[in-house]
Amino acid sequence: MHMADTLVSPVTGTAMLAVSSGLLGYSLRKVRQQFQEQWVPLMGVMGAFVFAAQMINFVIPATGSSGHVTGIILLAALLGPYPAFLVLSTVLVLQALFFADGGLLAMGCNIFNMAFWGCFIAYPLLFKPLVNGQYSRGRLVLGSVLACMVSAQLGALGVVLETLASGITELPFSTFALLMLPIHLAIGAIEGVLTACVLLILHRAEPRLLAGGEQKIPSAALLSFLGISAVFMGGFVSLIASSAPDGLEWAIKKTSGATDIPATHAWHDISAAWQSKIAVLPDYALPGLGETLGTMLSGVSGALLTLFLVLLLGMLVIRRKKNADIP
């Protein structure tokens, strides 16, 4: 559901960037108030895990479309909503800057659509009360599926409303919404099942990990398992990802008849020019390296870079917290 710059006007893109920046600042303050140093490794490996998981598009049967997880309910269940928002935002910024996945102008929209609804609406209002501290298979599946479906629906609706506010006439509201919402309902349902599977595995391995989000201190063995899984998914499983257009691309083509919406503002060209200079592996490929090697390099390097950036963020939060505690 990564929006390209041409889907948003400069006014809408700037407004959503301001909103998402405010949410990032708020989340950072909340994290700093309750942060523990032992949480940093789990945040790092889960950021790498979600980056790698997002590279694996799965087929949506009978549609000619594909989808990928956002990972936001998984992150919120393991880390809590505020750290989850920071971690997924880091993933999305990294994807836009280094892999040209999602536009720079649309970055605020992408953070809001993929992180806000899951962290602050679907997780606290659906997943948490449905699971209610009882991590049975039935409760985890029900909570994960419903939370992921609602998060995906609200994110898809956000995309439609943002294109409407941007005056993208190629994507009329009613037609675009009637395509975006059902396809992302299916994507959300599949993500919910996958999320529940991961949570069940982790809960069986270390039951305390899901205990209200208050004991986010996994063993070194589990951290190693998650880290290795992230590298394996990004470097190898991503090679078998579906090449079909994702839900957003599919809906755009069905609505407008084209896969890309043309640039309509000078800021679109400026953003694209800057992104082309910054992105070292655009579209998760390296020119001249070949598609297979390019994908493997992107998956492994992206997972490791996400790990580093989230660890760095965690250490900065710790330092700021310690400095604030000094009388």
Alpha-helix runs per DSSP H in the chain: 10-34, 40-54, 72-79, 81-99, 107-111, 117, 128-131, 137-165, 173-205, 220-235, 247-256, 266-278, 291-325
Non-local (6+) Cβ contacts of 142 within 8 A are: 130
What whole-number distance in Å separates Cα of residue 17 and Cα of residue 9? 12
What whole-number distance in Å separates Cα of residue 127 and Cα of residue 199? 12
Q: Look at 146 and 291; give whichever has higher pLDDT.
A: 146
Longest pairwise C-alpha distance within the chain: 63
> Residue 320's Cα: distance from chain center in Å?
26
What whole-number distance in Å separates Cα of residue 183 and Cα of residue 121? 21
pLDDT of 30 higher than 50: yes
pLDDT band at 325 (very low <50, low <70, confident <90, very high): low
pLDDT tens track for 103-134: 999 999 999 999 999 999 999 999 999 999 88
Q: Which domains does the chain have, with CATH numbers?
A: 5-325 (1.10.1760.20)
Non-local (6+) Cβ contacts of 261 within 8 A are: 4, 6, 7, 168, 170, 171, 252
When pLDDT is averaged across residues 261-286 and rounded to a whole number, the result is 92
Q: Which two three-digit tokens encode residue 258?
A: 């084209």
What whole-number distance in Å separates Cα of residue 70 and Cα of residue 34? 25
CA atoms within 13 A on the CB side of 4: 16
What whole-number distance in Å separates Cα of residue 281 and Cα of residue 297? 9
pLDDT tens track for 48-57: 999 999 999 9
The pLDDT, as a whole number, for residue 234 is 96
Q: Is 62 exposed, middle or buried (0-12, 13-18, 19+ CB in 10 A)?
A: exposed
pLDDT band at 34 (very low <50, low <70, confident <90, very high): confident
Q: Look at 208 and 25; give whichever has higher pLDDT.
A: 25
When pLDDT is averaged across residues 193-200 and rounded to a whole number, the result is 97
Lowest-pLDDT range of 71-75, 114-118, 206-210, 222-226: 206-210
Render 248-286 in DSSP notation, one character per residue: HHHHHHHHHSSSSPPP-SHHHHHHHHHHHHH-SSGGG--
The pLDDT, as a whole number, for residue 100 is 95
The pLDDT, as a whole number, for residue 105 is 96
Q: Mean pLDDT for the chain?
A: 93
The pLDDT, as a whole number, for residue 260 is 87
What whole-number distance in Å separates Cα of residue 109 and Cα of residue 90? 14
- Residue 195's φ and ψ, nearest 5 degrees, are -60, -45
Secondary structure of residue 322 in the 3-state scheme:
helix
Angle between helix 40-54 and 81-99 (nearest 10): 50
pLDDT band at 288 (very low <50, low <70, confident <90, very high): confident
pLDDT band at 172 (very low <50, low <70, confident <90, very high): very high
How many other C-beta atoms lie within 10 A of the C-beta of residue 12? 22
> What percentage of the chain carries pLDDT values higher than 90?
84
Among residues 47, 35, 74, the alpha carbon closest in space to that of 217 is found at 35
Q: Are 131 and 165 in contact (CB under 8 A)?
A: no
The pLDDT, as a whole number, for residue 255 is 97
The pLDDT, as a whole number, for residue 326 is 55
The pLDDT, as a whole number, for residue 133 is 85
The pLDDT, as a whole number, for residue 213 is 47
The pLDDT, as a whole number, for residue 217 is 78
The pLDDT, as a whole number, for residue 215 is 56
When pLDDT is averaged across residues 319-324 and rounded to a whole number, the result is 75
* Beta-ladder partners of 67: 58
pLDDT of 227 higher than 50: yes
**pTM of this prediction?**
0.95
pLDDT of 183 higher than 60: yes
pLDDT tens track for 127-166: 999 999 888 999 999 999 999 999 999 999 999 999 999 9
What whole-number distance in Å separates Cα of residue 185 and Cα of residue 182? 5
